[in-house]
Amino acid sequence: MARQQTARSETLRPETLGALRDSGWESVPVHQELCNNTIERIRRSEPLFSEVLGYDNTVNPQLENALIAGHDIIFLGERGQAKTRIIRGLTNLLDEWMPIIAGSEINDDPYNPISRYARDLIAEHGDDTAISWVHRDDRLGEKLATPDTSIADLIGEVDPIRVAEGRYLSDELTIHYGLVPRTNRGIFAINELPDLAERIQVGLLNVLEERDVQIRGHKVRLPLDVVLVASANPEDYTNRGRIITPLKDRFGSQIRTHYPLNVDTEMAIVEQEADISFNGDAFTGDVEVSVPSFMSEIVATLTHAARASQHISQRSGVSVRLSIANEEVMVANAVRRTLRAGGSQAVPRIVDLEALPASTAGKVEMETLDEGRDGEILNNLVRAAVLAVFKQRVPPDTHLGVVEAFEGDLVVDTGEDVTDEAYAAMLEQIPAFIAPVRALLSDEGQSESPALVASATELILEGLHLTKRLNKDGGATKSQFRGRN
């Protein structure tokens, strides 16, 4: 049904130049188009990007200013700060459909064609010239800057096949257009701009300032209508001097992105991006996956701790992808553990955090040169995250009774082989656990199932150990907690 409606709406769009004029359609530059639609979003109090979180009061106002001002933009930020997502989301600020001369390689404006092909076509057919329509999703051109990128890739080159077909070298129709001309009347994005060779950067100067391109020795001037957007790592942009000064000067706005400023925003991003959709999957059968908010908070807090750690290199940043990957691995470990135990509800517990170093190690760079310390540093970060969440989530007056219960000979076993039901039974045997467990689970909005109780109990025990209230013996997958007497 949706396809039929789309097809029907497309037939209502003018198909010839004369019909386009009669429809009253007006041509506006891309910068103006972005400006108009940005202003309309602001008037309706709609966000520029609904899926980019944490930038409402920082990046988004700067971006709105740049779009209204009609600037070309460069985004500066470390990896994993949604620079590419923002750039790709800019197409949503374009009009949904744009008319071009049918068959044009460079999206010729029907009212102001710039290519030889389009001009000749209009001269021959006049108002009967065929018009086609381009969707806004197809008006973005992207190029990852690499040292081997050439002028031909970006601007264009003489096509030897067309020459072999009999055209003269001086004929404009021998030109094979590059990515920038093919994005005419759209947005062209260059990711990691500093990696572009300096001689190639020079080729972009005319695009940004004079809005035209020159190809080889041809007397071809293409007054392109392009919004240029680039991304770069601040380390490359400011310290290595790998962007030539004239090119820096031609970007109207320089916008600095950042990582989530608080744990809540990091958790919201993880909830949005992490793929933990195991429910109903053939591989997990009837196992239900449930992630307590305090376990997700540990994952997000771990990332924030890594960004503040002197043992982790901050030059390239600690990406939000670290939080996403850790959440996915933590849940996967819980699912694996539950399947082996024959359980029906997979809820991450502290024991599942032992899987995080595998998903963390590849996403951070260590500053230390001491061989073999990587694992110790990562484990310390995990412990710091657990301790911070324990102090935040478990009121001190609720776990005093637990410490008192361990003053005798009480020993509690935890680990992968301890079932959820064993933790639930322990609450009946040690009533002191009930208050802190309920304090942790009160915000979960779920019944106190054995799996959730087990998760809360392990956090309480680990938190009391990290605050030096309980002793802990054992390894990664099995531990014993006892009093300090």
Name the band, by pLDDT with cuts 50, 70 and 90, for residue 443. confident
Domains in the chain: boundaries:
12-256, 263-482
What pLDDT was estimated at residue 146? 85
Identify the weakest region by mean pLDDT among 22-31, 99-108, 189-198, 459-468: 189-198
Tell me how far apart the alpha carbons of residues 19 and 38 are, in angstroms, rounded to a whole number: 29
Residue 161 has pLDDT above 70, yes or no: no
Q: What is the 3-state secondary structure of 271-311?
A: HHHCCCCCCCCCCCCCCEECCCHHHHHHHHHHHHHHHHCCC
Architecture of the 12-256 domain: 3-Layer(aba) Sandwich (3.40)
Residue 134 has pLDDT above 80, yes or no: yes
The set of residues, in sequence order, having a beta carbon less than 8 Å from that of 417 and lying 6+ positions away, is: 341, 477, 478
Average pLDDT of the chain, as a whole number: 86
Name the band, by pLDDT with cuts 50, 70 and 90, for residue 244. confident
For residues 312-330, average pLDDT: 90
pLDDT tens, residue by residue, 332-343:
999 999 988 888
Percentage with pLDDT > 70 across the chain: 87
Greater model confidence, 315 or 49: 49
Tell me how far apart the alpha carbons of residues 256 and 239 are, in angstroms, rounded to a whole number: 15
CB-CB contact of 12 with 23 (8 Å): no
What pLDDT was estimated at residue 4? 39
What pLDDT was estimated at residue 303? 95
What pLDDT was estimated at residue 5? 39
What pLDDT was estimated at residue 1? 38
Residue 240 has pLDDT above 50, yes or no: no
Residue 31 has pLDDT above 60, yes or no: yes
Instruction: Give the closest residue to 326 by CA, choosing from 351, 360, 366.
Output: 360
Identify the weakest region by mean pLDDT among 75-79, 262-266, 442-446, 465-469: 442-446
pTM summary value: 0.85
Greater model confidence, 376 or 265: 265
pLDDT tens, residue by residue, 346-390:
999 999 999 998 888 888 888 765 666 778 888 899 999 999 999
Question: What phi and psi values does residue 156 have, to the nearest 5 degrees?
Answer: 150, 175
The set of residues, in sequence order, having a beta carbon less than 8 Å from that of 155 and lying 6+ positions away, is: 178, 180, 181, 203, 213, 214, 215
Residue 3 has pLDDT above 50, yes or no: no
Instruction: Give the closest residue to 401 by CA, choosing from 434, 448, 443, 442.
Output: 434
